[in-house]
Structure 1
Amino acid sequence: MRKTKFTNLTKGLLFVAALTLCFTACSKNDKEGKSQIQVALTDDPGDYKAVYIDVEDINVNYSDSEDNGWQTLPGFKKGIYNLLTLVNDKDTVLADASIASGTIKEIRLVLGNDNWVVTNSGDSIQLQTPSGQSSGIKLKINMAVSEGILYKLLLDFDVAKSVHEAGTAGKYVLNPVIRTILEAQGGSVKGVVVPAVVPSAVLLINGTDTVASTYTGVGGAYLLKGIDAGTYSLHVISTDSTLAPASVDGVSVTTGKVTVADTIRLSAK
């Protein structure tokens, strides 16, 4: 480990930022011991002008029971989404939640009744939903999520297979066909900075670029998530102006893994 040179301006800005976000830093540590998941919606296009779906809720299930064990994802964004704006690798995040680590067995997408299709002739027609979907659309996942890792669950909605005209002229039915893709978004780095009487700013740097930053919380602990695989250096600046900044090189990050960095000990200037 070596002492790191920073300009007075850089130290001053980080000092003020760290003081301002101290309480945020402490609250972030409450998420340690869990995984982070982002649920995003995207679309394979269909031959319509628009397809609106009414998303009421998103649940996850860690059990093997399809009837019990469902939990609503916190931070879920309820709303009506036009699927045809989510093509060509575009998506929208429906939830960004801290969840328990373990094996996610299923996810359930609960739709309301305000689902519509706009045909190429410009007609807006409310979509009929089969009664069997009243409890939600259940999608198999069966994938483990690890502690401290950020994941993205992509719900790929196939409009062409999901929306079709019924036997009665002018009637359209919504029978969702959705492909799920769950992937780790890089790796994570966690560690401890001491002394831990006051918060420290922690920056993960690649060359001259800061790729992630956070602040230490209780006990000087920190966690950086969603980092691309590679080798980085960690830089630390304490809010205690009597302590010198420090850094450690050669911090290796692997996708889907948590790298535990050596404890960084700050010394007096």
Structure 2
Amino acid sequence: MRQLKILFFSFLIITGLQGCSKESLNEPVLNTTVSVKLNGTQSQYDEVWIEITDVLLKVIDNENAPNCWLSLKTSDNHIYNYIDITKTFNLDLVNEVNIPSGMIYEIKLVFGDNNRLIYNGKPINLNTNSVYQSSSGVRIDENLESNEQYIFNLEFETNNSILETPNENYYILQPILSLL
């Protein structure tokens, strides 16, 4: 019986190896190019300074899967005044980054702690945490074809992303984004 098992597993291994050719093992990974741009909407505030530390693409539609998010990094300057970013000016968060082609399900911005606004000339810190940042993604559900260039234009809804609380000078950043 033991010899029969060894013979059976040997047969499986040999059959499996015949299906792998040297060419299939050396096939190049097919890439696509991705850019992510950001616009801001008009606001009642004098200035709104927001820190973005990363841009993520969800490449596996399962939060529990390891490596479901692919980091694209951001440009060198991470703190932006969203009042300056209007529909006539696009902020390049990620510019022509090569990634493996395939499905992406969501684009998410990761916000840092250096967020503040100026309202009636007065500086006010914007507080945020992981619960509020959970809305910082935009559902995409798009298959990125190889050798193509994709540009995703996001809009930061400035007024809707800032929550005033009953506590004086306590504002919360709850980023709301949409795909243009």
Residue 70 of structure 2 corresponds to 71
Residue 126 of structure 1 corresponds to 125
Residue number among 53, 57, 74 corresponding to 1:56 in the alignment: 53
Residue 39 of structure 2 corresponds to 42
Match of 2:143, as an amino acid? A
- 1:84 counterpart SS class: coil
**Could you tell me whether the CA contact under 8 Å between 1:32 and 1:148 is conserved in 2?**
no
Report which of the two has the higher share of strand: 1
CA deviations 1:234-258 (Å, max 9, x no partner) are: xxxxxxxxxxxxxxxxxxxxxxxxx
* Match runs of 1:113-262 below 5 Å: 113-119=113-119, 121-133=120-132, 137-181=136-180
- Alpha-carbon offset, residue 166 of structure 1: 0.9
Residue 21 of structure 2 corresponds to none
The 1-side partners of 2:57 and 2:101 are apart by 12
- 2:155 counterpart SS class: strand
* Match runs of 1:8-47 below 5 Å: 33-47=30-44
**Could you tell me whether the CA contact under 8 Å between 1:111 and 1:136 is conserved in 2?**
no
The 1-side partners of 2:137 and 2:50 are apart by 16
- Alpha-carbon offset, residue 100 of structure 1: 1.3
Q: RMSD across aligned C-alpha pairs, in angstroms?
A: 2.0
**Could you tell me whether the CA contact under 8 Å between 1:37 and 1:99 is conserved in 2?**
yes
- 2:60 counterpart SS class: coil
Match of 1:164, as an amino acid? L
Q: Taking CA–CA contacts closer than 8 Å with sequence separation of 6 or more, which of the two structures ends up with the larger relative contact order?
A: 2
The 1-side partners of 2:177 and 2:134 are apart by 16
Unpaired runs of 5+ residues, structure 2, are 1-27
**Where in structure 1 do 4 or more consecutive aligned residues deviate above 2 Å?**
133-139
Residue 105 of structure 2 corresponds to 105
* Identical positions, percent: 26
- Alpha-carbon offset, residue 134 of structure 1: 5.8
The 2-side partners of 1:111 and 1:83 are apart by 13
- Alpha-carbon offset, residue 180 of structure 1: 1.8
**Could you tell me whether the CA contact under 8 Å between 1:110 and 1:136 is conserved in 2?**
no
